[in-house]
Structure 1
Amino acid sequence: MGKLLFAAAAASLFCITSCHSNESSGSPVQKADSSFAIIGKVTGLDTGMIYIFHLQTGKTDSASLDHGFFQFRGKADSVEYCQLRLGEQHKGFFLENGKTAMLIKKDSLQNALISGTPVQDEYNDYQTLYSKPLTDRMSEVDKAYEAASKRKDTRTGDSLEKVFEKLDQEQKQQVVDYTQSHRSSIVSVFEIADIFSYDFRLGQLDSVYRMLDSSVRSTYFGRTIQNTIEKTKLTAVGNPAPDFSSKDVNGRTVSLASFRGKYVLLDFWASWCGPCRLENPNIVKAYHQFHDKGFDILGVSLDETRPEWLQAIKKDGLNWTQVSDLKGWQAEVVSQYGIKAIPMNFLLDKNGIIIARGLRGNDLGNKLAEQLR
């Protein structure tokens, strides 16, 4: 029912630009569109601005609302995943040459109906038939996790984390299954790049990447996956941890190499990261338990503001070396280690060799107990 209503409404929007066409509807040959036209309507908002942020280039386009109507026109060299922004709200969509209709409620951009081009239509179907039921369950667990984080309820947080991990693996398998039957799909390569960005097994990611047709491996999303695989191989268990230097809380330059001779946890976190803050008590516990046995920690913060960073260090009792260049996700070490999400960590032995990664909950303590008997 909803799809039929949308199809009718979308058709009325397209009439603005296409109903004047003199081409015969019975023409056997359809020319590929060489430009895009986005026609949209925001209900409940007559004036204002709406924006498209191009995630791949950093470019932003804007359009004015005229009695709620807006339009964007241009040319896309390739299919892009963009972000539609209205006030503080945002929603992702695929931009490609062709005609796209958008129907938006003023305070509900996330529920906007976006349709008209092949990739976006396939993405809509994927979300409805495959992704949404699972992501809804993950969202519920995530909300409960955030609530536990605010209460500093570590036990509940650890339990919810295990539930989320199972759902995450189910989601990854869902993407693998879809890719097997849609090897040349932009949606497949996009979902792999998105869903496998964190807490993945290198072998699984490499395997699903190899399923893809060469035509989509060469896209922006395919190159992103290839880059993730290459960076992960560099920081895989058994490899030496890449050296780097950064400034500590006192402005002194600290290098990872200076920790040689100790077991070291390289811990990526941030003051604004709820899961990181909930994980910190586990790290503090391991630090106090094993520090005298030759264990140390080098914290790398993705903060951008010094006061919040320092306050979190003090509040969470992170009494070990902390560094940050206050560049957030743009920090060189973030790219160097291929960090896509936090918390993330790497445990190094005395020679700087990575012996474990992504340790959460009691995993860190258990691993250290094995190494520092």
Structure 2
Amino acid sequence: MKAKLLTIIAIIAVEESKGIGFTMGAKKPLIKVGDKFSDFSATDITGKRWTNADIEGKITVLNLWFTGCGPCRAEMPELSTWKDEMSDVMFFSSTYEAPEIARQVLDKVNFNWIALVNDTQFKKYIGGNGYPLTIVIDKEGIIAAFEYGTSPGQRAGLKNKILELR
């Protein structure tokens, strides 16, 4: 019954938004606006290692996704335009999947964010709240905004927050 209800909610969200949309209604966020973003160390799809030192003093956006997430894949073309428009912002995508699996999706949709792969450290932020999760981090390393799920309204709010922080 619960799966049917979630499907109905997802269909309504897409129909009402007249675009790509999916929100599961986060049960309990595992992060909070105003919290310091955690220390991290991750490897991108090219083998480069990234840490907090690489994003120090920069606005950073992190998008958590996986290849089986339709809404994640559907929002990627729009998210790529953000990187094109805001070259001073660090844009990372994170998946727990292996590079060869992630690359199939990333190449198909031309997602241009820095792709962190085999990355399980950020999964702790998902909990039972569902994918995708997008987190905006300010220049001081503080979480400025986040959204579970995706819809045109959610993406507009995140983009506006990024622009406000610049």
Relative contact order (alpha carbons < 8 A, sep ≥ 6): 1 or 2 greater? 2
8 Å contact kept, 1:282–1:362:
no
2:107 corresponds in structure 1 to 314
8 Å contact kept, 1:243–1:257:
no
Supply the AA of the counterpart residue of 1:302. Y
TM-score of the aligned structures, taking structure 1 as reference length: 0.38
Q: Aligned with 2:61: secondary structure?
A: strand
Going by fraction, where is helix more abundant, 1 or 2? Answer: 1
1:264 corresponds in structure 2 to 60
Summarize the Cα distance change of 1:364–1:310 in structure 2 as closer, same or farther, 3 Å threshold.
same
How many positions carry a matched residue from both structures?
Answer: 159
Q: Shift of the alpha carbon at 1:244?
A: 1.0
Going by fraction, where is strand more abundant, 1 or 2? Answer: 1
1:300 matched to 2:94? The reply is: yes
* C-alpha distance in 1 between matches for 2:155 and 2:66: 17
CA deviations 1:123-155 (Å, max 9, x no partner) are xxxxxxxxx4x7645423536889x9xxxxx94
Q: Shift of the alpha carbon at 1:368?
A: 1.9
Q: Aligned with 1:266: secondary structure?
A: strand
1:78 corresponds in structure 2 to none
CA deviations 1:67-103 (Å, max 9, x no partner) are xxxxxxxxxxxxxxxxxxxxxxxxxxxxxxxxxxxxx
Q: Shift of the alpha carbon at 1:285?
A: 2.2
2:138 corresponds in structure 1 to 349
What is the identity percentage for the equivalent residue pairs of Structure 1 and Structure 2?
22
Supply the AA of the counterpart residue of 2:117. S
Q: Give me the CA root mean square deviation.
A: 2.9
Gaps of 5+ in 2: 149-153
Q: Shift of the alpha carbon at 1:240?
A: 1.1
* C-alpha distance in 2 between matches for 1:324 and 1:135: 29
Supply the AA of the counterpart residue of 1:298. F
Q: How does 1:195-206 map to 2 (within 5 A)?
A: 199-200=26-27
2:118 corresponds in structure 1 to 325
* C-alpha distance in 2 between matches for 1:138 and 1:242: 31
8 Å contact kept, 2:95–2:117:
yes
1:290 matched to 2:158? The reply is: no
CA deviations 1:166-199 (Å, max 9, x no partner) are xx4xxxxxxxxxxxxxxxxxxxxxxxxxxxxxx2
Q: Shift of the alpha carbon at 1:252?
A: 2.5
The structure number with the bigger radius of gyration is: 1
Q: Shift of the alpha carbon at 1:348?
A: 0.5
* C-alpha distance in 2 between matches for 1:309 and 1:262: 26
TM-score of the aligned structures, taking structure 2 as reference length: 0.78
8 Å contact kept, 1:280–1:316:
yes
* C-alpha distance in 2 between matches for 1:201 and 1:309: 28
CA deviations 1:18-59 (Å, max 9, x no partner) are xxxxxxxxxxxxxxxxxxxxxxxxxxxxxxxxxxxxxxxxxx
Q: How does 1:1-373 map to 2 (within 5 A)?
A: 132=1, 136-142=4-10, 155-158=18-21, 161=22, 168=25, 199-200=26-27, 232=30, 235-291=31-87, 294-303=88-97, 305-325=98-118, 331-335=120-124, 337=125, 339-340=127-128, 341-358=130-147, 360-372=154-166
